[in-house]
Amino acid sequence: MAVYSIKKEKLGFLTDNQLKEGLPMIKCEVESFGEEIEIQTTSDRPDLLSVQGVERALKGFFGIETGIPSLSMETLRKSGVKVFKDSEILLIRPYIVSAVVKKKITEDDLIELMGVQERLHQTHGRKRKKISIGIHDASKLKPPFYYKAVKPESVSFTPLNEEKEMNLNEILEKTEKGKEYGFIIKSFDKYPILVDSENSVLSLPPIINGTLTTLKPGSSNLFIDITGTDFEACNATLNILCQDFMDMGGEIQTVEVVGEGETPQIKPETMILELNKANKLLGINLTAGEAAGFLKRQRLDAKADENNIKCRIPRYRTDFLHPVDLVEELAIGFGLNKFEPESPSLFTKGGLSSQTILTERIRNVLSADGFVEIANHVLTSEELMGKCLVKDFIRIQNPVSRDYSILRSELLPLLLETASKNTHHSYPQKIFEAGEVAGFDKVIQTNLNTSALILSSSASLTEIASHFSVFSKAVGFEFTFEKKEDMRFLKNRCLAVKVDGKERGVVGELNPEILESFGVGMPASAFEFTVLKLHSTKVKP
């Protein structure tokens, strides 16, 4: 969630009452209302982090401007500018997308741009790790541009708000932004930079821009670069900024990226809404024409065809994963306040499920045994699971991000990832998680697993096995240990956990190579155990 302020005068096309009604309806919760309106936006709508984005959504909601915005409808001019991407950069910060903007910047524009840029960095960009933005005065540059990896000592430039040149290591060590964000690239032998044809440095992504291309009031030829580790996030950010600039009266021109990787996309995505299903879900009875009209108020392009409505979704919208998201947009366009509440037709008495009671028991026993509970996302990445040699998992068909492209099939890799982000804390460390996992073996199987990890100079099989014994007695099952070979664990330091003769888990000392892949330098031992099999789903061939 992001909280920021908008001057009320910038939304002067609406009355105070309309603003108080409309802002919550477009997912902008009003924190305070005065000459400056403080709003809080939801994490799934980064396009609302700017005045232009809020204005665009409000105009749609009140029917002032409807349908898909102009950036998504027009064929943009080519700038003729190219960015050449070096192959070495693929292992560091692999994606870059760019555009040229022709727009004279005022002092107010500059203040707004800085605010939007920082809000996108902190939220959508995960504090610049996922995406980072550079906006440059291109009048001082000579394209083409080169995005490449260099040795930190081999390049020097004067960073923003500094007076003297520094090499890349010095920038990370001495500048405020370097100290704050240097951790993102510090582990690599080479750092990413963006230069023009005369080797003038535009930026050291994702840390800081150079003084050479500093934007000032009056700058009218802008170059945008967005780098990151997730292409979809980079592409959405580019579309957000370009649409904002177009709403400000700017002309957007495309930039060609030459090298391995995806090409920036501006063309809208297409999704079909089945009206019968939407009406049933919402409990209303709209015609196709009415539904299309409400969807247009959500700034989508909607064309009715009997029971199906073909929708075109602008690329700056990051919150569409499934047709049910169109149902939500239809509900918002229709008006959430217009729905008539109904009393439940059945009387039910609530209570904790057996699974919840079992999970609470697991949490209590491991917490009492000195472990700290961790709660990770159910969705994760193939790369993370691969570090722990996990190969069997269920992929998401249309993931919004590569960081969340699969369902976790084990908990241990996520505990190791947590440990890798806490190496600055003192040892020993003892952490655990109890939660659902999903795997595939002829059927999709959902299980309740528990995993515990100890990081200590004295971590051993004996220690983790004793903790597992305490855990098993408290949860209430009998088991036997049997010698097991597993590449994730040291040889002769791994045991299979069997219940009624069937393997249900593993206990052991982790292989240093696995720990190294996560950036963990401390010896570790761990267990993972399937406490309960929950659901099985057959998959059609």
Shortest CA distance to 405 belongs to which of 426, 378, 425? Answer: 378
Shortest CA distance to 52 belongs to which of 245, 268, 267? Answer: 245
* Residues found in the chain: 541
Query: According to CATH, what is the number of the domain 2-65?
Result: 3.30.56.10
CA distances for 157 relative to 89, 96, 150, 154, 202, angstroms: 20, 21, 13, 11, 9
What letter represents residue 505's amino acid?
Answer: G
DSSP SS3 for 163: coil
- Quickly list H helices, 215-287: 231-247, 275-282
269-338: CATH topology: Phenylalanyl-tRNA Synthetase; Chain B, domain 1 (3.30.56)
Phi-psi region of 476 (alpha: psi -120 to 50; beta: other; left: phi over 0): left
Q: Do domains 2-65 and 269-338 have the same CATH topology?
A: yes
Dist. CA 472–CA 453, nearest whole Å: 16
pLDDT at 488 over 60: yes
What mean pLDDT value characterizes the chain? 92
pLDDT at residue number 73: 58
Could you give the angle at which helices 288-297 and 323-334 cross, rounded to 10 degrees? 90
Cβ neighbours, 10 Å, residue 169 = 15
| 159 contacts 165 by C-beta, under 8 angstroms | no
Dist. CA 454–CA 435, nearest whole Å: 18
Task: Measure the CA angle with vertex 416, ends 456 and 435; round to 5°.
Answer: 115
- The strand pairing partners of 150, in sequence order, are 191
Cβ neighbours, 10 Å, residue 524 = 24
CATH superfamily of 72-258: Phenylalanyl-trna Synthetase, Chain B, domain 3 (3.50.40.10)
Dist. CA 375–CA 50, nearest whole Å: 32
Non-local (6+) Cβ contacts of 534 within 8 A are: 355, 436, 446, 447, 448
pLDDT band at 218 (very low <50, low <70, confident <90, very high): very high
Dist. CA 37–CA 78, nearest whole Å: 38
CA distances for 126 relative to 22, 276, 365, angstroms: 28, 39, 34
The sign of the CA dihedral 256, 261, 265, 270 is: positive
Query: DSSP states of 374-395 as a string?
Result: ----SEE-HHHHHHTT----EE
322: Cα within 13 Å, side-chain hemisphere? 6
| 39 contacts 3 by C-beta, under 8 angstroms | yes
pLDDT at residue number 391: 82
Domain residue spans of the chain: 2-65, 72-258, 269-338, 354-538
Dist. CA 22–CA 10, nearest whole Å: 15
| 229 contacts 129 by C-beta, under 8 angstroms | yes
pLDDT at residue number 61: 95
Dist. CA 82–CA 251, nearest whole Å: 18
What are the tens digits of pLDDT across the range 58-113? 999 999 999 999 876 557 899 999 999 999 999 999 999 999 999 999 999 999 99
Residue position matching structure tokens 């509440």: 341
pLDDT at residue number 72: 66
The pair of structure tokens assigned to 300 is: 């989508």
Dist. CA 42–CA 28, nearest whole Å: 7
DSSP SS3 for 96: strand
Q: Which residue has the higher pLDDT, 16 or 307?
A: 16
What are the tens digits of pLDDT across the range 223-279? 999 999 999 999 999 999 999 999 999 999 999 999 987 888 888 999 999 999 999
The pair of structure tokens assigned to 411 is: 């908990």
What are the tens digits of pLDDT across the range 28-41? 999 999 999 999 99
Residue position matching structure tokens 């809404």: 273
- The strand pairing partners of 526, in sequence order, are 453, 508
pLDDT at 541 over 70: no
pLDDT band at 329 (very low <50, low <70, confident <90, very high): very high
- Quickly list H helices, 62-175: 70-73, 107-122, 168-174
DSSP SS3 for 192: strand
- The strand pairing partners of 126, in sequence order, are none
Q: Are strands 480-483 and 2-7 parallel, antiparallel or unpaired?
A: unpaired
Radius of gyration (C-alpha) of the chain in whole angstroms: 27
Considering only the top CATH level, what class is 354-538?
Answer: alpha beta
pLDDT at 539 over 80: no
pLDDT at residue number 299: 95
| DSSP designation for 268 | P
What are the tens digits of pLDDT across the range 419-428? 999 988 999 9
| DSSP designation for 76 | P
Per cent of the chain over pLDDT 70 is: 98
| 98 contacts 261 by C-beta, under 8 angstroms | no
Q: Distance from first CA to last CA of the chain, Å, rounded? A: 41
| DSSP designation for 210 | B
What are the tens digits of pLDDT across the range 361-405? 999 999 999 999 999 999 999 899 989 988 888 888 878 778 889
Span 516-522, mean pLDDT?
A: 93
DSSP SS3 for 98: strand
Judge residue 479's burial from the number of C-beta atoms within 10 Å of its C-beta, 0-12 exposed, 13-18 middle, 19 or more buried. Answer: middle
